[in-house]
Amino acid sequence: MIKKHLRESGMSKTELARRINTTSQNVYGIFKRKSIDTGLLQKLSDALGVDFFQYYTQGSLASEPPNTYLKQNEAALLKQQVKFCEEKIALMERENEYLREINDLLKEKISGGTKKPKS
């Protein structure tokens, strides 16, 4: 997991080592570990800009972020819902404008019918 995020960040192992105040050889050793202490995990999180603690469950790192696929789908669905609501609002605004025009025409017709012609 840590190695994957390092690769995705484009940061070199040497740069990571510098940021966590260790040697490149120790970085290679970190990748091979089955467990890691929380202090080092915090340093790695800070250096890579990733919250590794979100993956930490019962003493081991999970292999994938939880519910990533579901969150992406949920975001896409929410975007669709927002677009639908925006379209519905635009339709209702047009309908409201038409109703105002009809109302104005009716008022004009009513007032025109009760007005006495000027002589």
Q: Is the pTM of this model over 0.85?
A: no
Ordered by start, the domain boundaries in the chain are 2-61, 67-119
**Cα(71)–Cα(35) distance, integer angstroms:** 28
| Per-residue three-class SS string for the chain | CHHHHHHHHCCCHHHHHHHCCCCHHHHHHHHHCCCCCHHHHHHHHHHHCCCHHHHEECCEECCCCCCHHHHHHHHHHHHHHHHHHHHHHHHHHHHHHHHHHHHHHHHHHHHHHHCCCCC
Looking at residue 13, its pLDDT comes to 86
Task: Determine contact, residues 76/83, Cβ cutoff 8 Å.
Answer: no
**CATH class of the domain whose range is 2-61:** mainly alpha
Q: What mean pLDDT is predicted for residues 26-53?
A: 85
Residue 108: pLDDT band by 50, 70, 90 thresholds?
Answer: very high
> Is a pLDDT exceeding 90 seen at residue 34?
no
Q: How confident is the model at residue 4 (pLDDT cuts 50, 70, 90)?
A: confident
Q: What is the pLDDT of residues 48-106, one digit of tens each?
A: 888 877 776 545 555 555 566 667 778 888 899 999 999 999 999 999 999 999 999 99
Task: State the pLDDT at residue 70.
Answer: 66
User: Is residue 24 within 8 Å of residue 14, measured between CB atoms?
Assistant: yes
